[in-house]
Amino acid sequence: MTFRGTFEHSLDAKHRLTIPAKFRSALADGVVLAPYAELPGAPRTMAIWTPEGFDEFMADSVGGRNPGGTDVRKLKRFYFNNSADVELDNAHRVMIPTHLMEYADLDKEVTVTGSGECLEVWDRTRHKANLEQLLTEIPNLTQSLGNTP
């Protein structure tokens, strides 16, 4: 499944997030919650993956590299140490562990965005600020990706 769209949600007192209805069947067999790291200075978010999607992401991230290499080990430690296997409860919610709440600086009001291979969970205020910044960068990004060497 390709994850698309933007959804505003509120976490409850136990840090539970209701999964948007259109994605529930794709996540019915399990969920991996993980930090989502981008370039330095980019906002931190939490990702919601299918177990297969997370495994593919990790394989793509470290595939073909020396598994004993320092950078590969660091990357694997970061993702595997900080991810969590969870299940949807009867109300289609996932409980976000405290360490991921802190990593992504999540509070009660969040925005869930489709990012293709996964969902991202953002602090709502940071999502709005990031979107405004991204809107100013889109023309240059589009142009740079359209040019071939």
Q: What is the pLDDT confidence band of residue 67, given thresholds at 50, 70 and 90?
A: confident
Print the SS3 string covering the chain.
CCECCEEEEECCCCCEEECCHHHCCCCCCCEEEEEECCCCCCCCEEEEECHHHHHHHHHHHHCCCCCCCHHHHHHHHHHHHHCEEECCCCCCEEECCHHHHHHCCCCCEEEEEECECCEEEEEHHHHHHHHHHHHHHHHHHHHHHHCCC
| Structure-model confidence comparison of residues 68 and 30, the more confident one | 30
As a whole number of angstroms, the distance between CA 10 and CA 16 comes to 9
The three-class DSSP label of residue 130 is helix
Supply the pLDDT for residue 147. Answer: 62
User: What confidence tens digit (pLDDT) does each residue in 120-148 have?
Assistant: 999 999 999 999 988 998 888 888 887 65
Q: What is the pLDDT confidence band of residue 63, given thresholds at 50, 70 and 90?
A: confident
In the chain, the percentage of residues whose pLDDT exceeds 90 is 74
Residue 22 tokens, joined: 């259109």
| Average of per-residue pLDDT across 105-121 | 97
